[in-house]
Chains A and B, each alone.
Chain A
Amino acid sequence: MAYIGKGVIGVEHPSTSALTATSVTSTGAVSGTTGTFSGVVTAGAGSIGMGAAFAARPSSGQSAPSADTFTKVAFGTETFDTDGKFASDRFTPTIAGYYQINGGVSYANANYSAAGAIIAIYKNGSSHLANANAVGGFEARHGLSVSGLVYLDSDDYVELYIYGVNQALDGGTETFFNGGMVRKA
């Protein structure tokens, strides 16, 4: 009987017959005819439930990007980074799979004229998922968010960009970038 627990893939076998194996795959399959298998197989990086995940936030408020210019958002503080795959504002999981990616940005100030703005998840340097909305125009903070499933292969990476008004970005919890593996390729 095979079982899957948190971070563990195990295989049990009836005590009445010896289980022999020459290999055990990450899916728990056992094959081969020599050697005796016992114990628990611990899943490696990228196995079920063991994909990389990260969460980051700004280390401080980001100065105002130029108007109408897609500008990469800086994330200087990692809340967590399970496999060390987030660096230089970029998540590069290195294991092909489907990843849930989420990003959000708020502008630090209100009181500016209403204008269009776009938040975009960039994949390999180009916009891949984006959301547009109006910001400004009344006395309240404004923000944008975007999320979705993104397929990333072994060298793909994602970053977060903002486009729109020439206003400083919030450096608190309203600006974030996080994600993790949902399914291995």
Chain B
Amino acid sequence: MTLYEKIIQIYPALEGKDFYSNGILLQNDGDDRGDYIKEWNHASLTKPTQSQLDAVGD
């Protein structure tokens, strides 16, 4: 499960929303780090914690 999909699981309201337009910047630099949250500036939703993300099944 990708980071994008995990965030959708945590915040179903984001389904079908454009992340970047809503202040969420996910990035992948082509290295071992994979997808990560570079910026989170959503107007109402708080940035998910690592434990929240880990709790969402792969």
Contacts from A to B (Cβ < 8 Å): 65-72, 74, 89, 116, 118, 125, 161, 163
Contact = CB atoms under 8 A, between A and B. Distances in A.
Interface of B: 2-5, 18-21, 24-30, 35, 38
Contacts of B28: 65-66, 69-72
Top-10 shortest CB links A-B = A68-B19, A69-B26, A66-B2, A72-B30, A71-B28, A70-B27, A67-B4, A66-B4, A66-B35, A72-B29
Contacts of A71: 27-28, 30
Given A116-B18, A118-B20, A163-B20, A66 B29 contact: no
Contact of A68 (B26, B29, B38): B26
Contact of B3 (A66, A116, A125): A66
A118 B21 CA distance: 11
Given A66-B3, A68-B20, A125-B29, 7 more contacts: A65-B28, A66-B2, A66-B26, A67-B2, A67-B5, A69-B26, A70-B25
Contacts, number: 45
A137 to B, nearest CB: 15
A69 B4 contact: yes
Contacts of B2: 66-67, 69
Nearest to A130: B20
A116 B16 CA distance: 11
Contacts of A118: 20
Nearest to B21: A116
B12 to A, nearest CB: 15
